[in-house]
Chains A and B, each alone.
Chain A
Amino acid sequence: MTPLRPTILLNTALVVVFTYLWGLLHAESQLAVGALLLAVPAVLWALRRAGVAEPLAAAARVSPRLLGTGCVLGTLALVAALYDEHFALLLLSSVLLYTVVGLGLNLQFGYAGIVNFAGAAFFGIGSYTAATLATHTALPHLLVLLTGGVVAAVLGSMLIWPVLRTRGHYAALVTIAFGILFRNFLEVNDTLGGPQGLRIPGMTVFGWKLNDHIEIGDTEISFYVNYALLSLALCVAAFVFVRRVERSWLGLSMDMIRTDEVAAATFGVSIARGKVLAFTMGNFLAGLAGAVYGMMTSYVAPNNFTFGDSLILVSIVILGGIGNPWGLLPAAAIVLILPEKFQFIQEYRFLLYAVLVILILLFRPEGLLPRTVRQYFPGRRKGEAP
């Protein structure tokens, strides 16, 4: 095969996927959404019949950089195409921010093996930190975002001791307890707005107000474009960060800790250090995403950070493929966009998640995009993985 063909194949696939996403975000009638949804299994089936699925996967493996650049450009094109559609842009930004949280959970769950059922709580800590700091201090807003992540990581360290002392299900219970405590604390705490929550001022970066609509000539561009771009930047940075952790000795240590703690310790791996690193870095990412999300929606309340929301986050990681950062994007898109587009299932969204998780565990137990073996420096040697 000439070296050009996989590239063309990959590019075509990217164009198709992003056009489809545009269609889905743009579509309003239930009929159109339904038709778009039914098209997916049909196209997947056709691809498999045509024998394109395998070369496509191979192309993505061989040129990861092209895939990354393609996704960034695709998202940019999507933002441009949806420039005046508030809701679609909000949805797109949410997908990107949830992916950031998913990347954090992936560090904890996918690599170090710590199941965190308090993801929404750490996301919420970021939002509340942003609300408090942006209202009461003159701290530059980019630093506010950063502080959101740091506060989430620091509060998360309260859990480190019990998480290190327990394993598996018991560690999961500790995080569930924390999530519930967090929400109850917010509901009774009047300084943080109680059940009504807090308003958050919009973000200002170097005098540029992100919550103002942009006008170019006669066309008005939704202010959500600002947040979509910010979310995209954050998502790319988090993605690169998590990838680098995986493709280093840290990732190797974390994988060993997850798969066999006794063997890891016997070969000198510090169990505590690996877990603390993964847990702290994961919570930092969740808090960071939460801070951006809060500033985008200008509002934060305890109801947004329930145990159910934490479950949604975990189901994104499982659906995407535990340990594979790429899987998070389609998973977050499915979990967030589908219920919004199908208004009538809104009431049943938890039912939908439950069914989704069961179906995944039955038919694709390793997720949509299962994790492949670690490549420390991919693409440098041909044929094999190193």
Chain B
Amino acid sequence: MSAVLLQASGLTMRFGGVTALDALDLVVHEHEILGLLGPNGSGKTTFFNVITGIYAASAGTVQFAGHDLTRSSPQDVYRAGITRTFQRSRLSLPLTVFDNVAIGRTQQFHQGLIFNLLQRKALKLQFDETVGQVHTLLKTFSAGMAEKMWQPAGTLSMIDRRRVEVCRALVSNPRLVLLDEPSAGMTHDETRELMDDILMVRERLSPFTVVIIEHEMGVIQRITQRCVVLNYGKKIAEGSFDEITRHPEVQVAYLGQDAEVPL
């Protein structure tokens, strides 16, 4: 097994009286695709939000590639090399596809006033480089996407919007990508297409590590190497997809007593 990339120890998140994450211990290995499962409200998205600094953990620690990311700002988490997509699309619809993807490279952009206002030639160089990168990534994803680069994101179909979100998460060459239910709001075929795209890009670019939250079991079975199942903010099972589907506690959590997880 390869090196540990992300390690959450005793991670706890309380909202008033509700404990969304309850002393969770979770390890993500470098280069793996980890599925994060669990019924609605089991704390999966909360886990993502705590890792990416949107919520500050009530207790516990997060270690990422040797850095302590516990209670770091979202900006610091991004700079450490973690990006994500959101369950409900969070694109800026009036902005172009280019703008939406390019923001993923914020780290590379000079933000100085003098640079942006007066050194237009240098800015142009950086701009052209970014256009090249965004174009290549969009094209790798699907040929049609590159042609839509200068359209407002609001004019795209649902699946294309998802693609843009994934591109935004990938354009900075992150070490860890958190995908929050990429199939939400899409048909079966569209989901399959999107997953194929992600796997193909991963093969071509770099074997970045993925944690994916997903309710479509077919997707999980196909792309993950390992799964973790949460319920009420606690880890109830861990292992390969086949292992966890046979796990009695998982079956109870999903379907109640005496049932099997449908495939």
Residues of A whose CB lies within 8 Å of any CB of B are 241, 244-245, 248-250, 252-253, 255-256, 259-260, 262-270, 273, 277, 371, 373-374, 376-377, 384-386
Contact = CB atoms under 8 A, between A and B. Distances in A.
Contacts of B91: 260, 263
Contacts of A277: 113
B202 interface: no
24 contacts: A248-B116, A250-B116, A252-B99, A256-B95, A259-B92, A259-B95, A260-B92, A262-B90, A263-B90, A263-B92, A265-B54, A265-B73, A266-B52, A266-B74, A266-B77, A267-B78, A267-B106, A267-B168, A268-B74, A277-B113, A371-B94, A373-B94, A373-B152, A386-B131
Interface residues of B, number: 44
Contact of B98 (A245, A260, A267, A386): A386
B52 A255 contact: no
B110 interface: yes
B90 A273 contact: no
Contacts of B73: 265
B193 to A, nearest CB: 24
A256 B103 contact: yes
Contacts of A253: 103, 106, 111
B124 interface: yes
Interface in B106-121: 106-107, 109-111, 113, 116-117, 120
Nearest to B54: A262
A269 to B, nearest CB: 6
Contacts of B84: 266
Contacts of B124: 376-377
A258 to B, nearest CB: 8
B92 A250 contact: no
Q: Which of B86, B106, B126 gathers the greatest number of chain A CB atoms within 10 Å?
A: B106
A268 B54 contact: no
A371 B151 CA distance: 14
A265 B117 contact: no
Contacts of A273: 111
Contacts of A265: 53-54, 73-75
Given A263-B90, A265-B73, A266-B74, A376 B127 contact: yes
Given A267-B83, A377-B124, A386-B98, 7 more contacts: A250-B113, A263-B91, A267-B103, A267-B104, A267-B106, A268-B107, A373-B152
Given A241-B117, A266-B52, A268-B79, A374 B104 contact: no
A249 B129 CA distance: 13
B145 interface: no
Contact of B111 (A250, A267, A374): A250
A244 B117 contact: yes
Contacts of B126: 249
A129 to B, nearest CB: 23
Nearest to A244: B117
Contacts of B94: 255, 259, 371, 373
A244 B127 CA distance: 14
A259 B93 contact: yes
Contacts of A268: 74-75, 78-79, 106-107
Interface string B181-224: 00000000000000000000000000000000000000000000
A247 to B, nearest CB: 9
A275 to B, nearest CB: 14
A248 B117 contact: yes
A264 B103 contact: yes
Contacts of B98: 386
Contacts of B150: 373, 384-386
B92 A255 contact: yes
Which 6 pairs, one residue from A and one from B, show the smallest C-beta to C-beta distance? Answer: A259-B92, A248-B116, A265-B74, A268-B106, A268-B78, A249-B109
Contacts of B131: 386
Interface string B41-78: 00000000000111000000000000000000111011
A266 B106 contact: no
B102 interface: yes
A282 to B, nearest CB: 14
A377 B116 contact: no
Contacts of A256: 92, 95, 99, 103
A283 to B, nearest CB: 16
B83 to A, nearest CB: 7
B87 interface: no
A260 to B, nearest CB: 5
Nearest to B106: A268
